[in-house]
Amino acid sequence: MAKQLINLGTTANDHTGDSVRVAGTKINANINELYTALGNGTTLSVASVAKTGNYADLSGKPPTAPELVAPPTSSTAAGTVGQISWDANYIYVCVNTNTWKRVALTTW
């Protein structure tokens, strides 16, 4: 089902938007679709959502732990997305094929 938007009308109280009943029906339909996609229709299952980068993976597959590898020798060293490493000075993360980023470790 496509997302159902509530018609708010042109201006407040102009009676051109959805009635309270129609708006409530659209809200219920949207919520029911989420509960079905992310759970069993009644209860949400957090385990069914894995965050991948900046996006949620709704495939239902459990999230996997990152692969720990030896520290890369350069920002273009061989690597696959999600690999993580560290040494005494940096934490390294592979953000794209053969593309590493690092952050310096400091005391606090």
Q: Please, what is the Cα angle at 93 between 91 and 94, to 5 degrees?
A: 150
Do residues 78 and 45 both lie within one domain?
no
Gap between the Cα atoms of 43 and 84, Å rounded: 34
Domain span including residue 108: 65-108
Q: What is the pLDDT of residue 39?
A: 76
Do residues 56 and 92 both lie within one domain?
no
Per-residue pLDDT tens over the stretch 6-60: 998 888 888 899 999 999 999 998 888 888 877 788 877 765 555 555 555 555 5
Nearest to 93 by CA among 83, 80, 108, 105: 83
Do residues 9 and 39 both lie within one domain?
yes
pTM equals 0.45
For residues 83 and 90, is the Cβ–Cβ distance under 8 A?
no
Residue 8, amino acid = L
